Chains A and B, each alone.
Chain A
Amino acid sequence: DQQVKQNSPSLSVQEGRISILNCDYTNSMFDYFLWYKKYPAEGPTFLISISSIKDKNEDGRFTVFLNKSAKHLSLHIVPSQPGDSAVYFCAATDNAGNMLTFGGGTRLMVKP
């Protein structure tokens, strides 16, 4: 049973518009969440993270929102750029903080 789920396998957005990628989790012990970005033929790279003590974390065009009661987080990219086209993975960890549980990924395509 997947503890971290990304229900949208793909998303297509026009350049300049907002991209919203969603992630749901089931394990209430998760307290730290991360987003990774992956280009073809490359490994994932860290993008942004959020602790469960916060509900929002912003870094430039990227903002992650956390709704603990709904066990839901989302990544907003504004404005979206063609270079943002990649697969985005949501990940979570518990208090031990040793291992990450990843979602299945969402392929984002930003059209010029």
Chain B
Amino acid sequence: DAGVIQSPRHEVTEMGQEVTLRCKPISGHNSLFWYRQTMMRGLELLIYFNNNVPIDDSGMPEDRFSAKMPNASFSTLKIQPSEPRDSAVYFCASSPPRGTTRFLETQYFGPGTRLLVL
């Protein structure tokens, strides 16, 4: 199994540019999560999809951020326009269908995209 795949692994861009981060979850997983890691705030949940439908986007910082999941095998997180304070590591995670027991320990993280906005 290839695990959760994220691209690009590193992104350097200038303030005002559009940034698109991509994620391919593990096949068969039906929940997908986008997180952001910063020194100040640690690991924050941005948005959570279940069966391709956004369930909770309360963690999305502002309207400059948007996320989509057009199908079960692909999701994007877009920042437009980007700002220096968006610099962080962005993680995508996926988890399998929830069974009769807690599933949270089976949330698998991708390697992350390190974003630097100059």
Contacts and interface: CB of A to CB of B under 8 A. Distances in A.
Interface of A: 2, 6, 32, 34, 41-46, 49, 51, 89, 91, 93, 97-105
Contact of A104 (B33, B42, B55): B42
A104 B50 CA distance: 26
B43 interface: yes
29 contacts: A2-B41, A2-B42, A34-B104, A41-B112, A42-B111, A43-B109, A44-B43, A44-B91, A44-B109, A46-B105, A46-B107, A49-B104, A93-B104, A97-B98, A97-B104, A98-B48, A98-B50, A98-B56, A99-B33, A99-B45, A99-B48, A99-B56, A100-B45, A100-B104, A100-B107, A101-B45, A102-B42, A103-B42, A103-B43
Contacts of B112: 41-43
Interface centre among A6, A46, A100, A103 (most CB of B within 10 A): A100
Interface string B38-54: 00011111001010000
Interface string B11-37: 000000000000000000000010100
B91 A43 contact: yes
Contacts of B56: 98-99
Contacts of A2: 41-42
Number of contact residues on B: which range applies? 20 to 34
Contacts of B109: 43-45
Given A32-B104, A44-B91, A102 B110 contact: no
A98 B55 contact: yes
A43 to B, nearest CB: 3
B115 interface: no
Contact of A102 (B44, B50, B106): B44
Nearest to A32: B102
Nearest to A45: B109
Interface string B41-77: 1111100101000011000000000000000000000
A89 B43 contact: yes
Nearest to A92: B104
B4 interface: yes
Contacts of A89: 42-43
